[in-house]
Each structure stands twice: as C-alpha cells, then as structure tokens.
Amino acid sequence: MSDDEARLQVLTHEECLELLRAGGVGRIAFDVDEFPVIFPVNYRLVETFGRVWIALRTRPGNVIASAPSNVAFQTDEIDPAHHQGWSVLARGTLHPVDPDAADFRERFDPHPWIEAERDAWLIVDPFVLTGRRLHGARPGWAFTDGAYV
C-alpha cells in the first residue's frame, strides 16, 4: 500500500499503553436504563505491580459514581486537516478506590478540570485494551495536469 492511500493500523498493547500514559481526557461509557451513555472524564493511567488501571474522579452519587460495573473507556486524538488520528479502547470493570490507600491520591490523581466535589475515586480495570491508528493518505499535489482541465 502506498502513502497515497489511507490505511488503518492495529496498535500493539504497548502502543496503547504509551498513548494512555499521556493522560488527559477520555470518555467512559455504560448502560443506564438499557441505553448506552457516554461522559467525558479526566483520567490518568495507573501502572503498579504489573497491573494497569485507568483512574478518574467524579462527584459522589452522580451517574458515573453509580455506574454499573461493566464499562468501556475510550480516548483518542484526531487530526481532521490530515484525515488521521488514533483511538484506544479499554473494556473492563469499574471499581471505587480509597484514594488514601497506598498513596493513591498523591501518585495517581487524574487532576479533573473541575476539582470541586470530585471526591469519588474510581478505576477502570481493563480486561481488553485495543487501539487503532488511521494514517491519512498523502494529499494530492494541487498542480497536477488534471487540476486545471
């Protein structure tokens, strides 16, 4: 396949972790009343003792804190000008965390953009981590013979 054609690349587990390590903003998805809902969240990747979790904070008692245990988490970056980007998807289980246990609060705070009342600490424990990268096609040169016919 030439650079003139767009292509989709499946990311390795390590490439997915590398992209997740940057932290920032992602989305958590789960079912509420038999329908899927998706919410943006700040997150941080937690890597300790050979385990990987995705940490987030929310308001106690809100819809995320009350979510069912089966969730999906997704983060991505998109470059619409070049028709390229990447996406990482984690499917797993959501668990509350004691932020004072094992210095979790100091080591793994996802620093939500709105920190007020974000006292419910949660982790997504992924059982599947997948990713894709879209490489955009090289743009055509504007001065080809066919451009002016």
pLDDT digits 0-9 by tens, 59-77: 888 999 999 999 999 999 9
- Note the pTM of the prediction, 2 decimals: 0.81
Distance CA 39, CA 37 (A): 7
Distance CA 137, CA 66 (A): 43
pLDDT score recorded for residue 6: 78
Consecutive H or E run containing 24: strand 24-32
22: nearest Cα among 116, 69, 91, 86: 86
Residues in the chain: 149
Domains, the chain, ranges and CATH?
A: 11-133 (2.30.110.10)
**79: number of Cβ within 10 Å:** 11
pLDDT digits (tens, 9 = 90+) for 63-116: 999 999 999 999 999 998 888 999 999 999 999 987 777 666 666 666 665 666
